[in-house]
Amino acid sequence: MACYHSNGNSKDSSPAVQNDSLKKGRMNMSEKKSIMDYETVALNDEKSALVIIDQTQLPYNTEILELTKQEDIWDAIYLLKVRGAPAIGVAAAIGIYLAAKEIKADTYDDFYKQFTKAKEYLASARPTAVNLFWALDRMDEVVKANTDKSVPELKELLHKEAVEIKEEDIWVCKTIGEYGLSLVKPGDGLLTHCNAGQLATAKYGTATAPMYLGQERGYNFKIFADETRPLLQGARLTAYELHESGLDVTLICDNMSATVMKNGWVNAVFVGCDRVAANGDTANKIGTSVVATVAKRYNVPVYICAPTSTIDLNTKTGADIHIEQRPAEEVTEMWYKKRMAPEGVKVFNPAFDVTDNDLIAGIVTEYGIARAPYTESLKEIFAKKEAAKAAKTAK
Ligand code: MRU
């Protein structure tokens, strides 16, 4: 694994040092490239590497990793060095292409056997974001649809598909941004949870796409970013990228959403998702369902920004979604100078929760906005997607 730093900030992550190094980072801002100038996830084909920003180091260090080994790619997904459902999907597509590139096989069957093994390995990195499986399946379809091709031809087709998956994500996010923007008005207060930003996608983000497009058009949104315990994606990533981009963002703790909503400061909630079930139940970062429940109390609409790659019609309801459980240390020790919980205490640390569909005002996709009843409207969204695909093929 190769890596390099774009600045010389300390790697020490104790809170006191973090404050100092953050100040130092700000002072050096003019010399420093903005985080928005980096690609979240990319392929360096010459080096046979998946290139990512190590998001566990943000905002203090912008460390770029060039991952060539499958074990390092797996670790990067599991450890959230690359994270956010769409970015995980793109990383998996590039990862499986790189695995395929290394395969030595004379026959299709031998190639496919090794490809399947590599696919299963990457698929085991994280369970909830369906984009991981969606991207791997899409790459798998390419191999299955080309049984007549030679091994070098299969590798070339996989390269093309991985590049396409990434390029598509940019269009998807931008289109979601346009639909999202149609739901709000200039000057609105918007709240978001976790990071469904550029750092979670190939570009623009999903929940942040309306914010970035609104900024280009002078909407002057007032954005509230939940810090998002325990891994602080909201504080470390969302507040960082929005602030670097010059948006008006206020960081709040996860237990403050009721206060800002009661104060009348929030007109809409935009969040991302890791898996949307056929009935609209939505798995997203732990705490999303708390925000949605509070929003219902204060009549604030909650919009799920969902690329169709995150909608899983094969999962009937939220109860069928596998929720990832993560290590206790993320709650008891991480980010603290000293452990902040008694040794031996039981910890429950699910990475995601499911927001029931009745708390959701709309699911914003690249093919339009789905409204309740979602069992019907999500099917219509997929019908539109199929029609668009057919029209493109017919051209
Ligand atoms: O555990 P993470 O950081 O991968 O969780 C990310 C989220 O929950 C995001 O909101 C979701 O993946 C959507 S990203 C566009």
Q: How far is the CA of 201 from the centre of ligand 1 (A)?
A: 10
Instruction: Indicate which atom in ligand 1 lies nearest the CA of residue 193.
Output: 10
Query: Which atom, in ligand 1's list, is nearest to the CA of 206?
Result: 15
User: Is 229:193 a contact under the CB 8 Å cutoff?
Assistant: no
Cis peptide before 230 (omega within 30 of 0): yes
Distance CA 123, CA 113 (A): 15
Out of 274, 281, 312, 353, pick the active-site residue: 274
- Regarding the beta carbon of 194 and ligand 1, being less than 6 Å apart is answered yes
Largest CA-CA distance found in the chain, in angstroms, rounded: 67
CA of 47 to the centre of ligand 1 (A): 28
Is 274 among the residues known to form the active site? Answer: yes
Closest C-alpha to ligand 1, atom 8: 285
Secondary structure (DSSP) of 287-308: THHHHHHHHHHTT--EEEE--G
Write down the domain spans for the chain. Answer: 2-168, 173-394
**Closest ligand 1 atom number to CA of residue 305:** 15
Cα–Cα distance between 229 and 330 in angstroms, integer? 9
At residue 2, the pLDDT reads 65
Fold of the 173-394 domain? Rossmann fold (3.40.50)
Asked if the bond preceding 373 is cis, omega within 30° of 0, the reply is yes
Positions in the chain short of pLDDT 50: 6-29
Across the chain, where does the E strand assignment appear? Answer: 2-5, 41-44, 49-53, 63-67, 189-192, 222-226, 248-252, 268-271, 275-277, 282-285, 302-305, 311-312, 352-355, 362-365, 368-370
pTM: 0.92
**d(Cα 327, Cα 387) in Å, to the nearest integer?**
43
Residue 288 CB–ligand 1 contact under 6 Å: no
Residue 85 Cβ contacting ligand 1 at under 6 Å? yes
CATH class of 2-168: mainly alpha
Eight-state DSSP code of residue 389: H
Ligand 1 proximity of 93 Cβ (cutoff 6 Å): no
Q: What is the pLDDT of residues 166-197, one digit of tens each?
A: 999 999 999 999 999 999 999 999 999 999 99
Selection from 368, 314, 304 nearest residue 172 by Cα = 368
Closest protein CA for atom 6 of ligand 1: 84
Q: 331-385 pLDDT, tens per residue?
A: 999 999 999 999 999 999 999 999 999 999 999 999 999 999 999 999 999 999 9
273 C-alpha to ligand 1 centroid (Å): 6
